[in-house]
Structures are given as C-alpha cells and as structure tokens.
C-alpha cells in the first residue's frame, strides 16, 4: 500500500473560530493572521494506492464555485485534479473518493462544472463514499452549518447514483484493504476518520477536522465550528491516547505547513509532537 499527500489548495479562515476559546495572544504566534484576522490553512488530501485501487480522501473546495465565493475564502493553489496530474495520475484513474464529511472544503472538489454549467463527477470512474447519517444531516442542514453544506457539492452524487453509504456503527468499521473507519460526532454528525496501514507495525490516522492542525492536539484547542465541543474533546483524547508513544502517524489535513507527526506525552503529561515533517519524511523516519 502506498500513501501520498495531495494538495487540494489553500484557503483563509478567521483565526478566532479555528482556535475556539484560545485567546488570540496565544494562537496569533502560531498561525499569524493578516489584517482581516484571517489565517491561511491547507486543504490536504491523500491518495491511497493498493494493488487494484486508487483511493482519494477528501477533495478540497474544487473549481465550480464562483469568483465571489472563492474571494471570501481567498481560495488559492492547485486543486486536487491538478495535483494528481502533476503526479501523472489522471482523474479517470481514481477508483474511489472517500469523503470524511460534506463541508465545502472537504467535498467541493468531488464534482466539477462544465462550460455549459452542467455539474459532473470530477472523477468519472470513481465510487464516492459517505454514510446515510451524515448525508441526511448535511441535506437537512441547520442554521449553524448551512453555509458549509452546499447541496451542489453532494446531492448530484446521489442523483447520479455514484455514491455508496457505509454502515454507521459504534465500533471502528473495517472498510477495505485493512483500512478502518471511525465515526465521530464532535465536529459534525458522523464524520469519518480513516485508519490506514503503513506497514506491519504502523498505521496512519487521517483525522480530518477532529485534529485539523498540529496545534489542535492540545486539549483546549477546539474549533468554534464544532457542533459538540465536549464530544470533540473526548474523541480527540481517545485518539491521542491510542497513538501517543507509538510509531503511528497523525496526518494534519488543514495545517498550513506540517503534514504529519508522531505524538508523545511530555514531562507534564501534555500531548506533543515527536517525529514531524512531510508525510513521506515521517513515514521514512526510523
């Protein structure tokens, strides 16, 4: 199994909501904001290659949103299909697109718009993956999340019959190729994390918005966007306890610079970074 980072672009969000209750005097030293209080964040996907499959996990904002929308979020950089083409992988080669959840910065690139305005799959031969509980939550939406759940990003997938729903369960779900799915509810309802084998002894956790950056491994660093922050706290603690002091790798989808790290506990019992760098660097560190 081969795992590679795919850059799906960069965007800006207000630092306050991204760091929640943490005061600006602290977080501004970590990810310095611009004059509008906006911080730059990555949209970082991964490509999992097995013997028979090429699985893309999350897709970034994509290209079909209008200029006004993109300007609000300062969306910039290569989107997923561009990054894949630079690796000589064409969209037609992707067999599966796994969507951790349907917020626009994770699912927007699942579909694209033709010159005539028709919305079509960005990966025409792929099966897309979600779950009914989250899809229904996104479709009905709520005042807190409705600006993040844009129906044009996911409803056409169901209308065109190319999305499959995974069963939701309390225990981690064995999906495929020794890849497991964990359902979490703090950020949004039934978001899916991926637990992926690196080798016989190590695994990669793609934690999506549960732990979006290196700074969010700290317990009080919970986004104000999260629906259920106390659930986030428990879900984050559970994951970090499982991997702290091991060689398992944590992947940061939104960190502006750092892709991945291993985790340990420092002398005060706080979670801290151990090995860190690009995903390739961390995987190859011994």
**Per-residue confidence (pLDDT) for residue 229, from 0 to 100:** 98
Q: What is the mean pLDDT of the chain?
A: 97
**Per-residue confidence (pLDDT) for residue 280, from 0 to 100:** 96
Structural domain range at position 110: 2-284
Q: Quick check: pTM over 0.75? A: yes
Q: What is the pLDDT of residues 145-181, one digit of tens each?
A: 999 999 999 999 999 999 999 999 999 999 998 999 9
Q: What is the pLDDT of residues 235-274, one digit of tens each?
A: 999 999 999 999 999 999 999 999 999 999 999 999 999 9
Q: What is the pLDDT of residues 117-152, one digit of tens each?
A: 899 999 999 999 999 999 999 999 899 999 999 999
Work out the pLDDT band at 286, boundaries 50, 70, 90.
confident
Counting residues of the chain whose pLDDT is more than 90, the rounded percentage is 97
Work out the pLDDT band at 27, boundaries 50, 70, 90.
very high
Among left, alpha and beta (phi > 0; psi -120 to 50; other), residue 248 is beta
Average pLDDT, integer, range 52-73? 95
Which ranges in the chain belong to alpha helices (H)?
15-19, 24-27, 67-72, 80-86, 104-107, 132-140, 155-159, 229-243, 279-284
**How far is it, in rounded angstroms, from Cα 47 to Cα 57?**
6
Q: Say if residues 63 and 113 touch (Cβ distance below 8 Å).
A: yes
Average pLDDT, integer, range 194-209? 97
Name the domain count of the chain: 1
Residue 206, beta-bridge partner list: 194, 251
**Per-residue confidence (pLDDT) for residue 69, from 0 to 100:** 94
**How far is it, in rounded angstroms, from Cα 184 to Cα 210?**
8
Counting residues of the chain whose pLDDT is more than 70, the rounded percentage is 100
Spatial CA neighbour of 117 closest among 159, 156, 72: 156
DSSP string, 216-237: GGSTT---TT-S-HHHHHHHHH
**How far is it, in rounded angstroms, from Cα 261 to Cα 247?**
9
Query: What CATH number should be reported for the domain holding residue 111?
Result: 3.60.15.10
Average pLDDT, integer, range 76-97? 96
The alpha carbon of residue 278 and the mean position of all alpha carbons in its chain are separated, in whole angstroms, by 16
The alpha carbon of residue 20 and the mean position of all alpha carbons in its chain are separated, in whole angstroms, by 19
Give every CB contact of residue 68 below 8 A, 6+ residues apart in sequence: none
């Amino acid at each position: 199994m081969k795992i590679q980072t795919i850059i799906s672009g960069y965007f800006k969000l207000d630092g306050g909501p991204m760091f929640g209750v943490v005061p600006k005097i602290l977080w501004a030293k970590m990810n310095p904001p611009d004059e509008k209080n906006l911080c730059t964040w990555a949209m970082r996907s991964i490509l999992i290659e097995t013997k028979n499959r090429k699985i893309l996990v999350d897709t970034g904002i994509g290209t079909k949103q209008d200029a006004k929308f993109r300007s609000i979020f300062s969306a910039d950089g290569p989107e997923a299909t561009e990054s894949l083409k630079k690796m000589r992988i064409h969209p037609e080669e992707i067999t599966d697109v796994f969507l951790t959840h349907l917020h626009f910065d994770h699912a927007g690139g699942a579909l694209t718009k033709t010159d005539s305005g028709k919305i079509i799959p960005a990966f025409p031969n792929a099966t897309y993956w979600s779950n009914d509980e989250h899809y229904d939550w996104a479709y009905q939406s709520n005042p807190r999340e409705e600006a993040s759940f844009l129906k044009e990003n996911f409803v056409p997938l169901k209308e065109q019959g190319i999305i499959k729903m995974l069963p939701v369960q309390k225990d981690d779900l064995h999906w495929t190729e020794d890849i497991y799915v964990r359902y979490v509810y703090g950020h949004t309802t039934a978001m899916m994390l991926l637990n992926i084998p690196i080798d016989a002894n190590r695994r990669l956790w793609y934690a999506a918005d549960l732990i979006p950056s290196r700074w969010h491994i700290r317990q009080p660093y919970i986004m104000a966007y999260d629906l259920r922050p106390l659930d986030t706290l428990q879900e984050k603690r559970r994951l970090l306890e499982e991997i702290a002091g091991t060689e398992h790798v944590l992947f940061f989808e939104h960190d502006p610079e750092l892709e991945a790290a291993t985790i340990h506990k420092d002398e005060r019992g706080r979670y801290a970074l151990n090995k860190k760098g690009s995903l390739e660097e961390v995987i190859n560190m011994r």
